[in-house]
């Protein structure tokens, strides 16, 4: 059952990213076409695309963490013995988890503080945009917990058929 929940979360996260990126691309494309064909543009397009990009960034960070795609300096745990490497990786996981919890709290306070501010073009609460931060950090924590055992044991992340983290990091 735990694996099913994990797979469902990953699939939902991926599809949400796909939908947001597709919507963002359509909005920007339509705005560019209208600007060059009619001389007028969609007033809210740039703002909405920017807000979607914020959500994509925070929603995608957990998946990137899950598959080992973030930039990492791994010289230390690769240069020591197996037992010391497990200890170092355990400390890394503990530090990341602590950081994510602190950021969930801090970003939630920030969302609460901005709940009465509104955006210029769409006049929606900025809290809806900034809510991407606590949601993203919770997702990062959840993805970290899903891969923590394998990472601590032997430095491996979750496997992905679509992504090679080493190839992506070398670009």
pLDDT at 69: 82
Decide: 138 and 68 in contact? Cβ < 8 Å.
Answer: no
pLDDT at 75: 79
pLDDT at 135: 98
Which range (38-42, 74-78, 126-130, 148-152) has the least confidence?
Answer: 74-78
Decide: 140 and 163 in contact? Cβ < 8 Å.
Answer: no
CB atoms within 10 A of CB 29: 11
pLDDT at 53: 98
- The whole-angstrom separation of Cα 144 and Cα 73 is 17
pLDDT band of residue 99 (cuts 50, 70, 90) is very high
pLDDT at 170: 54
- The whole-angstrom separation of Cα 82 and Cα 168 is 26
- For residue 21, how far is the Cα from the chain centroid? 13
Mean pLDDT of the chain: 91
Instruction: For the chain, give every domain's residue range.
Output: 2-169
Q: Is the pLDDT of residue 159 over 90?
A: no
pLDDT at 166: 59
Which range (51-55, 65-69, 139-143, 158-162) has the least confidence?
Answer: 158-162
Q: Which residue in 50, 33, 51 sits closest to 42, CA to CA?
A: 33
For residues 79-92, average pLDDT:
91
pLDDT at 17: 97
């Amino acid at each position: 059952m735990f694996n099913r929940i994990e797979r469902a979360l990953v699939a939902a996260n991926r599809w949400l990213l796909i939908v947001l990126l597709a919507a963002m691309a359509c909005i920007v494309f339509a705005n560019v076409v209208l600007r060059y064909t009619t001389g007028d543009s969609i007033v809210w397009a740039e703002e909405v695309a920017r807000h979607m990009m914020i959500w994509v960034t925070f929603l995608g960070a957990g998946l990137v963490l899950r598959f080992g795609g973030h930039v990492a300096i791994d010289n230390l745990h690769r240069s020591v013995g197996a037992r010391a490497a497990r200890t170092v990786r355990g400390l890394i996981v503990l530090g990341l988890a602590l950081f994510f919890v602190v950021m969930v709290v801090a970003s939630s306070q920030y969302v609460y503080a901005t709940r009465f501010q509104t955006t210029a073009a769409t006049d929606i609460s900025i809290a809806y945009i900034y809510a991407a931060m606590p949601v993203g950090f919770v997702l990062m924590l959840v993805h970290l917990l899903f891969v923590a055992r394998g990472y601590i044991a032997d430095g491996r992340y979750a496997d992905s058929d679509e992504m090679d983290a080493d190839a992506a990091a070398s670009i």
